[in-house]
Amino acid sequence: MKFFADTAEIDAIAELNELGILDGVTTNPSLILKSGRDIVEVTREIAALVDGPVSAEVVAMQAPAMIEEGRKLAAIADNIAIKLPLTWDGLKACKALSGEGHMINVTLCFSANQALLAAKAGAAFISPFIGRLDDIDLDGTDLIADIRLIYDNYGFDTEILAASIRSVNHVTECARLGADVMTAPPEVIHKLAQHPLTDKGLETFLKDWEKTGQKII
C-alpha cells in the first residue's frame, strides 16, 4: 500500500520523506488554510521535495473554470495530481483534463456509484472519505471494500486512495481490504509505529542491560 501524507506542513512531509516511506502528498483547501501558506508556493515546495503525486485541489465549481484552474495547478510541477470534487462538473473536468494527460484525483467520494463514475471519467485516483462516513454512523471501510470489488470486477486501473483516515485501525482495515493508497495526517502515520508492548519490552531490556554492567560503545 502506498502512503501519502494528508498535510501541507513542509517539516512533517520532509521527515516522512527522509524515512523513505512517503509515496505522495494530498492537500485540500482546509489543509492549505491550516498551513497559512500561499497555495502555489507551498505546492511547488512540496512537489520539489516528494517524488510521487502531490494533489492540489481546484475550488471552481463549473467545469470550464475547473479545467482552467486545473491546468494552472498542473503547471506548478510535473508530479501534480489535480484534485476535483465528485460533482457532475467535476466529472466533466476529469474527463477533459485526464484526456490531456493530467493525473486526476477525484475527491469527496462517499458512494461506490460515485467511484464507478470517476473511474469511467479517467481518474487516476478516487478518494473515498472513510472518517466522514464514520462520523455519520456509517462504516467508511465498507465503501473501500465495495469499490475494490467493483474496480476488480471490471479491471479499472483507477487507484483507491483511502482518505479521511483518522486512526491506525483505519490504516489496517484499508490495507486488509486492498486500498492502493492511504492518505493520513502525519500524526496518524507516526502512531503506526507505536505499541505499548514495544515500549514495555524495551523498558525491560534496557533495565536488564544496565544490570549487566556492560558497554558496547
- List the one residue from 7, 17, 24, 26 that touches ligand G3P (CB under 6 A): 26
Looking at beta carbons, which residue is closest to ligand G3P? Answer: 164
Our CB check for ligand G3P shows the closer of 23 and 207 to be 23
- List the one residue from 6, 23, 69, 159 that touches ligand G3P (CB under 6 A): 6
Please state the closest distance from residue 83 (CB atom) to ligand G3P, in A: 8
Please state the closest distance from residue 41 (CB atom) to ligand G3P, in A: 20
Q: In sequence order, what are the residues at sequence separation of 6 or more whose Cβ sits closer than 8 angstroms to the Cβ of residue 125?
A: 53, 55, 81, 103, 104, 105, 106, 158, 159, 160, 161, 181
∠ at Cα 108 (80, 168), nearest 5°? 85
Tell me whether residue 95 is one of the annotated catalytic residues: no
String of contacts with ligand G3P for each residue 159-188, x by CB under 6 A: ----xx-x----------------x-----
Q: Is 60 helix (H, G, I), strand (E, B) or coil?
A: coil
Pairing state between β 2-6 and 103-109 = unpaired
The reply to whether 28 sits near ligand G3P by the rule CB under 6 A is yes
Q: In the window 41-100, what residues touch ligand G3P (CB under 6 A)?
A: none
Looking at the DSSP bridge assignments, the partners of residue 24 are: 4
Catalytic residue, from 34, 83, 200, 211: name it: 83
Under DSSP, the state recorded for 138 is S
Please state the closest distance from residue 55 (CB atom) to ligand G3P, in A: 8
Q: Using alpha carbons, list the distances in angstroms from residue 209 to 70, 195, 196, 214.
A: 58, 21, 20, 7
Q: Using alpha carbons, list the distances in angstroms from residue 36 to 42, 163, 194.
A: 9, 22, 30
Radius of gyration of the chain (CA): 20
Our CB check for ligand G3P shows the closer of 12 and 101 to be 12
Task: Name the phi and psi angles at 3, rounded to 5.
Answer: -110, 120
- List the one residue from 52, 122, 131, 186 that touches ligand G3P (CB under 6 A): 131
The reply to whether 17 sits near ligand G3P by the rule CB under 6 A is no
Q: Which residues are catalytic?
A: 83
